[in-house]
A and B are shown apart, each in its own frame.
Chain A
Amino acid sequence: MSIVEETRKALLQLFPEQAAAEAEAEAAAEAGAAAGAEADTDATAEDTASTEEAGEAAGGEETAAEPAAPAKEEGPAEEGPRENGVLVTDHAARGTHLDVLCDPDQVVEAAGIMDEAGFFLEAITGVDWIKEDRMEVIYDYNQMGPDPCRVVVRTFIPRANPEIPTISEIHPGANWHERETHDFFGIKFQGHPYLEPLLLPEDADFHPLLKDFTP
């Protein structure tokens, strides 16, 4: 199994629904393997067109897995908000091999999984989605080596009260990244040992990278 696949399986611990749906899809595919070669390509999700056709043809179990199975593929124009889950992305296009969207209270667990899988933390940053009234916290993990793999973990927190648990217990390097993100966005990292300004003056009370900041 490649590193990407192994890490994806490890990260699926965070999302029991997606894991269960994929297990169902695999079981259904194996059951349908007797029916023909279409079910094999269906299980590996290589051919998008035949997946959709065989998905409808295979029966009720497949349609139950349909909403979760597209999480394996990258839809070109997805409508509606993205569900929590692990996406496999094209590294050449997006820069990451895996893209994880989770809840704020799952980031510590995700950090633990990445640490055990041998990844190091590259960066933590934030995005101010002012129109949706929420902020996004983005964690980049990387693992160089003979088989490189880059993973991004995203989570959304409310803009009015932006708080999220710290991962600096697991990745000590996150200490400074979280201080910087707090400096620029005002995101409070609960449990951080020293959330003082890193780049801004010590007495700064402004957060420059918020979209409604005026100097």
Chain B
Amino acid sequence: MGTEKVPSSIVHFAELDKLLNLCRANSLWPMTFGLACCAIEMMCTGGSRFDISRFGAEVFRPSPRQSDVMIVAGTITRKMEPGVKTLYDQMPEPKWVIAMGNCAISGGPFKFKGNYNVVEGADQFLPVDVYIPGCPPRPEALLEGIMTLEEKITGKRRWPRRQPGQVTG
């Protein structure tokens, strides 16, 4: 494949990609996929105190066809695994997956020698982009996960990372 020098004033491919990524990152529409207790924290994040709407993500779509990111919030049982895979396959590109909570990361408290029904982590069968540890993670942790996903998509972080002991304002 040869290269051709295109005058940069005519075509700005890179800029469009950046713009598209910025748009995608700032309006991630999650799919409501609360499987267990982490769903409660996800609901709290959607409420007014923690407000996921600030990040453009308050429209939780019930249909996978209309959503960008699947927040796997909760335990995946072997009975539910085909359902999760089907819903992931039904999401249109570009799509991302956030594994929220210890169960979605690695099976969490159910990863023990006698485990008979829990899939040990969403990454056993899905490509996970962001892991949010916690049992359940606080709403602020979920927001940090959304910001991390935005950073992964755009390359830049929306707000600077807070240092411990830093006073706001």
* Residues of A in contact with B (beta carbons under 8 Å apart): 197, 199-202, 206, 208, 213-215
Contacts and interface: CB of A to CB of B under 8 A. Distances in A.
Nearest to A197: B79
A206 B113 CA distance: 16
A201 B114 contact: no
Interface residues of B, number: 8
B36 to A, nearest CB: 13
Contacts of B13: none
A214 B77 CA distance: 18
A186 to B, nearest CB: 14
B116 interface: yes
B97 to A, nearest CB: 22
Contacts of B113: 215
B78 interface: yes
B115 interface: yes
A206 B116 contact: yes
B79 A199 contact: yes
Nearest to A206: B116
Interface of B: 77-79, 113-117
B116 A208 contact: yes
| Main secondary structure on A side of the interface with B | loop
Contacts, number: 23
A215 B114 contact: yes
Contacts of A202: 79
- 3 residue pairs, one from A and one from B, having the closest CB atoms: A208-B116, A201-B79, A215-B116
B35 to A, nearest CB: 14
Contacts of A201: 78-79, 117
Contacts of B116: 200, 206, 208, 213, 215
A215 B77 CA distance: 15
B117 to A, nearest CB: 6
A208 B117 contact: yes
Contacts of B78: 200-201
A206 B78 CA distance: 13
A202 B79 CA distance: 7
Contacts of A199: 77, 79, 117
Contacts of A197: 79
B115 A200 contact: no
A208 B77 CA distance: 14
A202 B77 CA distance: 12
